[in-house]
Amino acid sequence: MTVNEIAKTLEELAPLAHAEDFDNVGLLVGNPKMKVKGILVTLDTLENVVDEAIAKNYNLIVSFHPIIFKGLKKITGSNYVERVVLKAIANNIAIYSMHTALDNNKMGVNAKICEVLGIKNPKILIPKVKSIKKLTTYTPLADAEKIKTSLFDAGAGEIGKYSNCSYSLEGIGSFKAESGADPSVGKVGEVHFEKETQINVIYSFEKESAILKALFSSHPYEEVAYEIITLENTNQDLGMGMIGTLETELTEKAFLLMVKERMNASVVRHSELLGKKVNKVAVLGGSGAFAIEAASKSGADIYVTADLKYHDFYRAENQMVVADIGHFETEQFTKDLLVDYLTKKIPNFAVSLSESITNPIKYL
């Protein structure tokens, strides 16, 4: 398989269009046409990870965090980012990053945290806005089912656990083919009236190119009438963080001790305990201060995240407990998720979990 083929497999799990605008995801280093000898999965691409790939004779590193985040004006090896890039290029190793494309996925980073902590029925905490679109088009009655099938095959009409969703209306369309046109129905120079079906389907924004291609290839008209609008509906399958419930209620202290053990956290920093039972839990891997209010409004008893500053611990207004267990600690199991996914998608291919330690934070 080539780097590009592996990338397409990864994008089936986490399309790059799902990443946040500020992020840098996808293939960061390397030739997309290069044949892959083996894949090393890591949280961070550091020099020791590149050395590990060299030792294992692997030439693709799949990393959660992007090693190149800001633009590089020069590559001289003056810092750890430049040294990684230089070493990867010198040894013909490609680097692919997923980051917030996987953060926003309902089967991604936060789903893995929920799995480890035993959080049941998790849902997206902050659904992504303006990510659902609606396509409306008009077609002769006889072609409606063929066009709908083509749109469904391209990914339109998927709502939660339902597929092939659409809404149709019948009416009369009119048009006049001018000189030079080649109409499939009607005659040039004459106003034509056609019994038509109006087809309405919704879709996730990253599928738009494939859906329009399907529309144009299946539609009989020379000029296809269609309109696209962006909906205000929130996308329940896409977004940051997750919230769910415990199978059995715990005291706040018992829950935090469980989190510390299962997440291999050296320290748990938390706000004042409120003396309530913990049933509803919100989680967000990585820097999650921005979601404190959302977690509180969602009725969480405890919010588990990382990288909180001093004043962030006040922001829950004593409505819930806020816990910071560390950035690496919240995201560490992402590596296992990716190895499991790649192993199932491309069996009999060399995929390894990196043994290199990349957590920059140490504790006494």
Binding-site residue set for a divalent metal cation:
65, 103, 327, 331
The Cα-based distances of 173 to 60, 140, 149, 189, 197 in angstroms read 54, 9, 22, 16, 9
Contact between 104 and 11 (Cβ < 8 Å)? no
Beta strands (DSSP E) in the chain are: 26-29, 39-42, 60-63, 94-97, 119-128, 132-140, 167-176, 191-204, 226-230, 235-251, 269-270, 277-287, 302-306, 321-324, 351-353
Percentages (nearest 5) of helix, strand, coil residues in the chain: 30, 30, 35
Q: Residues within the annotated binding site? A: 65, 103, 327, 331
Query: What is the rounded CA–CA span in Å between residue 64 and residue 43?
Result: 5
Calpha distance 43→62 (Å, rounded): 8
Place of tokens 């309109």: 227
User: Six-digit token pair at 6?
Assistant: 């592996």
